[in-house]
Amino acid sequence: MVDLRITPSAISSRMKIPTSKSHTLRALFFGMLGRGKSVIHSPLLSKDADAMIQAIHQFGAVSEIKANSIEVEGGFHPALDVIDAENSGIVYRFLAAAGAVLPSYTIITGDRSIRTLRPIEPLLGALTQLGAFAKTARGDGQAPILVKGPIKPGKCRLDGSDSQPVSALLNILSFLDGKSEVFVDDPKEEGWIDLSLSWLSRLGASIEHTDYRHYRIEGGLSYDGFSYRVPGDFSSALFPIAAALVTESRLLVEGLDPSDIQKDKVVIELLQGMGANIEWQDKHLLVEPSPQLQGIEIDLNQAIDAFPILAVIGCFAKGKTTLYNGAIARKKESDRIRVMANELKKMGATIEEQEDGLIVQRSDLLGANLQSHGDHRVAMSLIVAALGAKGSSYLSGAECIQKTYPQFIKEIGADIELDPLRV
């Protein structure tokens, strides 16, 4: 376990943001299903990418990591062994749906978070409606799961409060020989659905939808290998941006594409609405020391993955910040609503926990002993909170940051070091 000591300090004045985890994982997945070789430029090499690479190998794809790219030779046959999704919801859901195409059993498990928190029954239920055998091994609604196909084109219905089961279905139904329809109850996280639809459209799929509740999939998708350059990750960029705001530092953020479809770029506008001095300069983002931020109400469905860092920002914003419509945050790598409330309260924050979010009051944070709970976004958010607090803080379990931002601690440039009493 990696334990850190964080001392309030300024940060680097210039940072290049790592590339997108979500785009990298989709590129690997679709590389497996394509004909011939696909080349993924500037991928995010992370623990989740490793899990996806190992998973597609089990299904018959071959990959080679080069200096700044990954080459994937497409291939898809019954899995050779149990799939370990590790901590990746995308690997878990996408490969479960893919396995339902095959006339063989696919077994998927993962880490404690995958086995206890991540919703899978909506996807398994939809696959069952399409003719698959799709069950949880222990009958408790959690991984390990067993899936056996082949599914056939048709109609299915599922809950959409988590977007990944919906994306997983849209992905795999696009390849079936025939038309399908998907009906979604309580659709949420529409921005991630848009990202999935953009990938499918790029590859030649034909999908229409009505208000994210009714999808009509033409089927018959087939494509040759592709070349794709992964853009910078807006979700990761939020942590150095927030660190600049709470430490009143000047920061130039490089590596982002303002035209990319990633939904977390909406948080830039939300921060500007709170009074943050942030502006685009071509494809760079400049963050200047800002006057007092103002608390606002934020619908978390716009950017659910930004919830932990928005909770931190709320502590530094005048008045009250209300984060709502984010109940699914309880079923991510951790119960992020409970975890962020409890950890920030350790620092003296005034927070009221709601079923679907938090009410955060402007608070003078103090250094404290903090826990990551094995959640990369929680860990980086607490580091940002500690940089703006009074006195040193100690964070246990920082190794989970490797999931999306392996160089965060080094590149942020602040006074962060391994805790000499705990290593």
Which helix (H) or strand (E) segment is 399 a member of? none
Are 7 and 29 members of one domain?
no
Residue 166 burial (10 A CB sphere; 0-12, 13-18, 19+): buried
Coil, helix or strand for 89? helix
Q: Decide if 74 contacts 63 (C-beta within 8 A).
A: no
Q: Are residues 188 and 298 in the same domain?
A: no
> Are 336 and 391 found together in one domain?
yes
Same domain as 199, residue 330: no
167: which 2 tokens?
């994306």
Q: Phi then psi for 303, rounded to 5 degrees?
A: -160, 75
- Lateral strand order in the sheet of 207-210: 155-159, 180-185, 214-217, 207-210
Which DSSP symbol is given to 233?
P
> Among residues 177, 199, 229, which one ends one of the domains?
229
d(CA 52, CA 90): 9
For residue 147, the 8-state DSSP code is E
Which of 205, 229, 253 is the C-terminal boundary of a domain? 229
- Domain match, 242 and 96 both: no
pLDDT tens for the 423 residues of the chain, in order: 779 999 999 999 999 999 999 999 999 999 999 999 999 999 999 999 999 999 999 999 999 999 999 999 999 999 999 999 999 999 999 999 999 999 999 999 999 999 999 999 999 999 999 999 999 999 999 999 999 999 999 999 999 999 999 999 999 999 999 999 999 999 999 999 999 999 999 999 999 999 999 999 999 999 999 999 999 999 999 999 999 999 999 999 999 999 999 988 999 999 999 999 999 988 899 999 988 899 999 999 999 999 999 999 999 999 999 999 999 999 999 999 999 999 999 999 999 999 999 999 999 999 999 999 999 999 999 999 999 999 999 999 999 998 889 899 999 999 999 875 554
pLDDT at 403 (0 to 100): 87
Which is it for the CA torsion 127, 131, 133, 139, positive or negative? Answer: positive
Active site residues: 305
What's phi and psi for 289, nearest 5 deg?
A: -50, 135
Domain containing residue 301: CATH number: 3.65.10.10
Residues 85 and 172 in one domain: yes
Residue 320 lies in a domain: yes
Q: What are the tokens at 113?
A: 């978070």
Query: Which tokens go with 289?
Result: 């020391």
Predicted pLDDT at 423: 43
Q: Is 48 exposed, middle or buried (0-12, 13-18, 19+ CB in 10 A)?
A: buried
Asked if residue 133 and residue 46 are part of one domain, the reply reads yes
Based on the fold, state whether residues 157 and 136 are members of the same structural domain. Answer: yes
358 assigned to some structural domain: yes
Q: What is the pTM of this model?
A: 0.92
Q: Is residue 133 part of a domain?
A: yes
What's the token pair of residue 129? 């409606």
Query: What is the per-residue pLDDT for 234?
Result: 95
- Confirm whether 423 is domain-assigned: no
- pLDDT (0 to 100) of residue 420: 54
Question: Which residues, 6+ apart, have CB-to-CB distance to 100 below 8 Å?
Answer: 106, 127, 130, 132, 134, 147, 148, 149, 150, 151, 172
Strands 393-396 and 369-371: parallel
Model pLDDT for residues 231-252, shown as the tens digit of each residue: 999 999 999 999 999 999 999 9
Q: 188 and 248 share a domain? A: no
- Residue 38 CA to residue 122 CA, distance in Å, equals 31
DSSP class of 68: S
Work out how many domains the chain is built from and give that number.
2
Boundary (domain end) residue, out of 229, 251, 269: 229
Q: Which domain holds residue 383?
A: 3-18+232-418
Q: Are residues 201 and 243 in the same domain?
A: no
Whether 154 is covered by a domain: the verdict is yes
Do 31 and 130 reside in the same domain of the chain? yes
For residue 419, give the 3-state DSSP assignment: coil
Q: Measured between alpha carbons, how far is 374 from 63 in angstroms, rounded to an integer?
A: 29
Helical residues (DSSP H) of 148-296, grouped into ranges: 163-173, 190-203, 234-247, 266-273
Residues 225 and 258 in one domain: no
